[in-house]
Amino acid sequence: MTERMKIMLMGATLMALLLPAVAQNSAAPAQTGTPAQTGTPAQTGTPAQTGTPVTSGPETAKQVQQRKWDQQDRIANGVDSGKLNAAEASTLENKESKINQEERSMKAQDDGHLTAADRATLQKQQNQLSNQIYQDKHNAPVQNQNPKSQEGQRSENQQDRIANGMRSGQLSAGQSANLEKQEAAIHQEVKADRQANGGWMTKQQKAQVNRQQNHLSNEIHKDKQRNHK
C-alpha cells in the first residue's frame, strides 16, 4: 500500500469518528413553542338602550269629555278656595269655552265624531290650559275667604254660586267666563273707590256696588235656569 493511500484511509477514518459528535453538537435545540395567544376578550355587548317611553295616543272621545269636567272642577275649586280671583277665572273659562266651541266645529265636520287628529289637538289645548290653571293658582296669596265688609261678603257669595254652577254643569264655560268678568269689574271698582277714599267707601259708592251685585246675582240665576231647562 502506498504512502498516499495510507494517508487517505486515515483521514476517512478520522472523519467517520468526528461526524457524529459534530452532528450532535450542531443540532439546534428544540424551539420552545410560542405561548398560545390569549384570545381577545369577547366584547361585551352594548347595553340595551332604554326605550323611549311610549307616548300615549290621543285621548278617546270619552276622555275628552271627562277632561272638560275635570278642568271645570279645578277652576271651580280654585274660585272656592280663593286661589283664583275673578279675573283669572274669567280668562280660564274663556279659554275653556273656545276649546268647547272648536270641539263642536270639529264634530260638525265629521258627522258628530272626533277624528284622532281632532282629539290630539284638543288634548294639546287642554294640557296648555291645565298648566295655566296650576300657575294661576300658585302665583299669588290666597284671597280672603271671610271678608268683614258687606261688599266683600256679597262678592264671596257670588263667587261660591258661580263655582257651584261650574261644578254642577249648570253654567257653561262661556257663561262662567262672562259672569266672572263682571265680578272682576266690580272688584276693580271697589278697589278704586277705597283707594280714592283712604280705604273707605262712601254711601253712594256702596249703593252702586250693591246694584251691580244684584244685577249679577239675577244673571247667575237666569243662566243656571236656562241650562236647566
Question: SS3 string of the chain?
Answer: CCHHHHHHHHHHHHHHHHHHHHHHHHCCCCCCCCCCCCCCCCCCCCCCCCCCCCCCCCCCHHHHHHHHHHHHHHHHHHHHHCCCCHHHHHHHHHHHHHHHHHHHHHHHHCCCCCCHHHHHHHHHHHHHHHHHHHHHHCCCCCCCCCCCCHHHHHHHHHHHHHHHHHHHCCCCHHHHHHHHHHHHHHHHHHHHHHHHCCCCCCHHHHHHHHHHHHHHHHHHHHHHHHHHC
147 found inside a domain: yes
- Say what the pTM is: 0.71
23 found inside a domain: no
Domain of 162 in residue numbering reads as 61-228
Q: Is the pLDDT of residue 151 over 80?
A: yes
138 found inside a domain: yes
11 found inside a domain: no
Q: Higher confidence at residue 68 or residue 19?
A: 68
Q: Is the pLDDT of residue 62 over 70?
A: yes
55 found inside a domain: no
51 found inside a domain: no
How do residues 96-106 score in pLDDT, each as one tens digit? 999 999 999 99
187 found inside a domain: yes
Least confident of 7-11, 21-25, 158-162: 21-25
40 found inside a domain: no
Q: How many domains are contained in the chain?
A: 1
